[in-house]
Chains A and B, each alone.
Chain A
Amino acid sequence: MHLPILLILIPLFTVFSLGLFAFFSKKYIIPLVFTSSLASTAIIFYFIFNRETRLPFSYNLGSWQPDLAINILVDHYTLVIFAAMGLMILLSVIYSLTEITRNKAKFYLLLNVLFVGIAGMVMTADLFNFYVFFEITSISSYALVAYNDKDISLEAAFKYLMLGTVSAVFLLLAIILTYMATGTLNMVLIPERLGNLPVLTRQILIAFYLIGLGVKFAIVPLHTWLPDAYVGVPITYNVLSSALIIKTQFFVLMRILYILFGLNFLQDNMITTILLVWGIFSMLFGHAAAFQQNNLKRLLGYSTIAQMGYVIIAFSLGTPAGIVAGSFHMVNHGIMKGAVFFAAGNLHKAAGSYQLNKMQGLADIMPKTSLIFVLLLLSMVGIPPLSGFASKWLILEAALEAGYLLPGFMIILGSFLSLGYYLSIIINIYTGEKDLSKKSSARAVGLKINEILPAAALTAVCIILGLYPAILTGLIDRAPEFLLEQLNYINIIIGG
């Protein structure tokens, strides 16, 4: 079965063919991109539906023996990102159909490079390969941030690029040091060999990995590129970034920490505690900074930083419940934030700006989109029965179960803070003109079906998940087995 590698190859070949089609016949670009993302989605859903029989699954490139070959690996932990990919790839492509009007070939080329990078990062079991896919993701991200070619997007791209490159240097350094210490880059062989190293060496390695990847998933104070980058990019990138890219980077960091170093080492040497405190700080900082924003996208960027804080807290608990809760929130936040961005993009069509004070009165022009927006924001605060409540419940339950009362309380505090700025969005949208005659129906814009569909579909998912959260937890409940227990992961490839 060659399905996993296809997940990397399909977008890769799309990239090459796009280059050709851009020369010869532009009208095939959209069908090609659409087909390839449909195929990727189909593969992902194949794994999701056949998870009991097919997973865990490993694929040796070139049929070398397992410890020499480059391994591609799909296990239950991978399904966390697969769940997000399954929804987001297709929906973002659908939304981009009308959003991207110029340089279509270039945009979709970059987008597919991004998909290659994400799929590779998630599935690879080799640090060398991981580094390559990491850079593929990063470089396509930088280019996509600059895509709109406005002053602010260029500036944001440059800053992102600088921060990203400096951090990538540390990541590469960490990988090299790992190789120096163990003599291999195969993630299956490293854990055993790392175990003999002095504690301090391992801690320094972890520090480099943390900084190297931390910039990408925007942990405070490495977050600064994110709100900048979000302002001037296409909505499609906003969605993909907050739902997929930063989640993938964090996902990989967790795999590196838990698989290479092991849960016991992390807990005995304060790593989980540091991550926990750092996550709390990141969350509160993100919420606090979001208060002052009057640009909707920038505000949502800070809110993404804060929401990543929840994920970090949940994962650093180091318990199976924490992993499930964090994974749930990763996917769920992707769904909610994706829907919020799609809806925001639709609101932008009428308002012509993302400045909150220019979005006043939109509720009269776009009542349905505004209602969706309100529902989603309430979900982000954690008001039942929307899915945000389910993730908050899971995270809090996991935190309290592990005995962390104060972090639990901080999560409550964070939710309360978030209410403040989400309300200011709602209030701005739901502010009408006193004078009814001023209410210009001329501003009303017809939305195309491909613009409505993604937001509506994700909102529906959000409500359904709120009522039946077990759908998603059923998907990811075996994730901790392949994250917390190194042996399970190693046995997938070496064979027990």
Chain B
Amino acid sequence: MLNPGFPLLLAALLGLILKARKIRYFLTAGALIISLILMFALPQDKILTTASFFDLELILNYISLTSRNIGLIFGLFALLVLVYGYSLLSLASLNLLNIFVGSSIAILFVGDYISFFFFWELISVAAFFLIYDKVEEKLRYTAEYYIIIHVLGGLSLLFGILLNYNFTGEIILAPPEAGLLFFIFGIAIKLGFLGFHVWIPKTYAAIPFQLAVLMAAYTSKVGVYALYRIVELETNIVAYFGLLNALGGILLAIFHSHLRIIISYSIISQIGYMIVGIGLSSQIAVTGGLFHLINHILYKGLLFMMAGTICYSTGFENLSDLGNLWKKTPLTFLAGIIATLSIAGFPFFNGYLSKALIKAGIDSQLLYYGLQLAGVGTSLLFIKVLYFAFLSKNNDPDIVKIPPLSMKLGMVLISAFMMLTAWNPAAVERLFQISPDVAYFSSSSILSGVLPFITALLLFPLLKKYISPHPEKVFQRDFFSKLGYSFINLDKKISQIHSGDLIRYLSWSLLALLVLLLIFLLAG
């Protein structure tokens, strides 16, 4: 049977022949729907399709509950992006979207490391070409940066896979018995762990916003899924690293004022929440982490859509250029409010249930208060965004382009979907097939959800002047690119010793002979 990601990959092949934009658009939509149907229709926990690579058996289709749930949101969100980007997505990017989303979905349903690695790399390659632009030099640079760092992670994963294969003789996708460090390094790059996070803001702030909406939902979430499948430790140490990520992301974000940079850094922070959930041993927390992944795709998508709409209609993306938009773009403002309350985990909004689940599974005070602190930070961050973009009277940018209906419809649909799921914990429990004894809407948990937001609301006037927006550049050399440049300088020296002088070359070869003879003489 077909892996749910394959309809999209087949659509990409078909797309090579079909050159009309409308046809490609509906081809992608159709493939997505088929893929969603497949996820439901195929039986779970059974090996459905196999292939072989040398004498190894590849499991191409294995549907588990978790992968189905993540797959559902991947597919649904791609449909929503299609609605939002109806007038924005170009012919080429539609086909690359097929590959990108298709491999992101396919990777969820494979059961062995080689196919896992294959789709892992395919995501990077597809993303490279999505970002790539023939004309814009900055996008070329971004794409290069993106693929270099992701292939580094991929190769590290490959080495881990090989170490594990060498040790166990198995390539089944299961927590490895050897080479865990290399797995973790690969995953850390993919999910944007603190220290390896630089590609996230760099990429999502530079690329066209409709692509940022799309890409932000997949790459790092695949990393989280990999973390869930691969890293299994005795201790809760991963959860503490997650907390570090949650707090670090906020700290990095708070002083920025480019809209999409802020949202990108908050991805890092939200990933931290998921890591906390997955890193804990209790079933509830793990489910909470995975459910947070689903919620996060939705509200982060909405946030990027909001940022995109602002950018589309005003032409500005830096908070220092924005202000007083609430009357001009009321729908976007409303979307912003919903997204902010969701990301802050405010009761009866989208992020609340998953955060409640994670908190219910936490057994340490440090983690609990750490997450609450991160909640305060997140709320503060997006109150800042809302205030400076929509309410502040400092600037008054004009609306240069009216956003098309499709963009608005996309935002409305995703908001509606978020609000619907936020009210219905029973549906969540059915989806994940768990029945935790968690009182979602008890007064104490509501209080614990409200508290961070209220605190942030009270703190904001005090902190406003420290975090007020300022102009900033998207492109800055970071640690990794400096490392790259210093390597290139070393290379220059290596290349320059080829001076073109024949005598030098001849003496090298005689020297090699001499060294060989010396080694033999001395060692013998």
Contact = CB atoms under 8 A, between A and B. Distances in A.
Contact of A225 (B121, B505, B519, B523): B505
A183 B118 CA distance: 55
Interface string A210-246: 1100110000011011011000000000000000000
B53 A469 contact: yes
Interface stretch (B158-166, B253-261, B393-401, B465-473): B158-166
Contacts of B461: none
A209 to B, nearest CB: 10
B135 A167 contact: no
B514 to A, nearest CB: 9
Given A292-B495, A423-B148, A434-B135, A163 B506 contact: yes
B508 interface: yes
Nearest to A433: B135
Contacts of B165: 397
Interface in A388-418: 390, 393-394, 396-397, 400-401, 405, 408-409, 412, 415-416
A211 B516 contact: yes
Contacts of B151: 381, 383, 416, 419
A120 to B, nearest CB: 25
Contact of A285 (B52, B134, B494): B494
Interface in A244-271: 269-270
A415 B156 CA distance: 11
Given A211-B513, A274-B516, A289-B495, A427 B140 contact: yes
B388 to A, nearest CB: 34
B152 interface: yes
Given A203-B520, A400-B163, A401-B166, A289 B494 contact: yes
A145 B166 CA distance: 44
Given A215-B509, A222-B512, A289-B491, A159 B502 contact: yes
B495 A222 contact: no
Contacts of A469: 53-54
A469 B510 CA distance: 40
A412 B516 contact: no
A163 B505 contact: yes
A16 to B, nearest CB: 35
A291 B512 contact: no
A204 interface: yes
A166 B151 CA distance: 42
A447 B37 CA distance: 46
Nearest to B158: A412
**Residue with the highest number of chain B CB atoms closer than 10 Å, among A158, A170, A400, A409:** A400
A470 interface: yes
A293 B488 CA distance: 11
A432 B118 CA distance: 30
A195 B512 CA distance: 26
A161 to B, nearest CB: 10
A207 B516 contact: yes
A383 B162 contact: no
B517 interface: yes
A357 interface: no
A324 to B, nearest CB: 10
A419 B151 CA distance: 8
Contacts of B517: 204, 207
B228 to A, nearest CB: 23
Interface string A162-204: 1100110010000000000000000000000000000110011
B516 A224 contact: no
Contacts of B484: 420
B462 interface: no
A491 interface: no
Contact of A430 (B114, B134, B488, B494): B134
A440 interface: no
A302 to B, nearest CB: 9
Contacts of A222: 508-509, 512
A408 B162 contact: yes
Given A211-B516, A381-B151, A473 B509 contact: no
Interface in A286-324: 288-289, 291-293
Interface residues of B, number: 51
A292 B492 contact: yes
Contacts of B506: 162-163, 166
B20 interface: no
A400 B140 contact: no
A148 B491 CA distance: 30
B88 to A, nearest CB: 20
Contacts of A170: 513
A431 interface: yes
B521 interface: yes
Interface string B120-135: 0110010000001011
B511 interface: yes
B46 interface: no
B153 to A, nearest CB: 10
Contact of A412 (B159, B492, B495, B502): B159
B491 A167 contact: no
A19 interface: no
B494 A211 contact: no
Contacts of A227: 498
A334 B53 CA distance: 21
Contacts of A390: 53-54
Interface in B101-126: 114, 117-118, 121-122, 125
B147 interface: yes
Contacts of B173: none
A480 interface: no
Nearest to B137: A431
B170 interface: no
B183 to A, nearest CB: 13
Contacts of B114: 384, 393
Nearest to B495: A292
Interface in B470-510: 484, 488, 490-492, 494-495, 498, 500, 502, 505-506, 508-510
B39 to A, nearest CB: 24
Contact of B135 (A293, A396, A419, A432): A432
A91 to B, nearest CB: 26
A227 B500 CA distance: 11
B152 A416 contact: yes
Interface string B31-71: 00000000000000000000011100000000000000000
A378 interface: yes
B519 A384 contact: no
A385 interface: yes
Nearest to A221: B508
Contact of A400 (B53, B122, B132, B162): B162
B155 to A, nearest CB: 5
Contact of A396 (B140, B162, B509): B162
Interface in B142-178: 144, 147-148, 151-152, 155-156, 158-159, 162-163, 165-166
A288 B134 CA distance: 27
B159 A409 contact: yes
Interface string A140-168: 00000000000000000011001100110
- Nearest 7 Cβ contacts at the A-B interface: A432-B134, A292-B495, A203-B520, A221-B508, A224-B505, A400-B166, A207-B516
Interface of B: 52-54, 114, 117-118, 121-122, 125, 132, 134-135, 140, 144, 147-148, 151-152, 155-156, 158-159, 162-163, 165-166, 484, 488, 490-492, 494-495, 498, 500, 502, 505-506, 508-513, 516-517, 519-521, 523-524
30 contacts: A162-B506, A163-B506, A163-B509, A203-B524, A204-B520, A207-B513, A208-B513, A211-B513, A211-B516, A221-B512, A289-B494, A291-B491, A292-B495, A363-B134, A364-B134, A382-B155, A384-B114, A384-B117, A390-B53, A390-B54, A397-B162, A397-B165, A400-B162, A416-B152, A419-B151, A423-B148, A427-B140, A430-B132, A431-B140, A469-B53
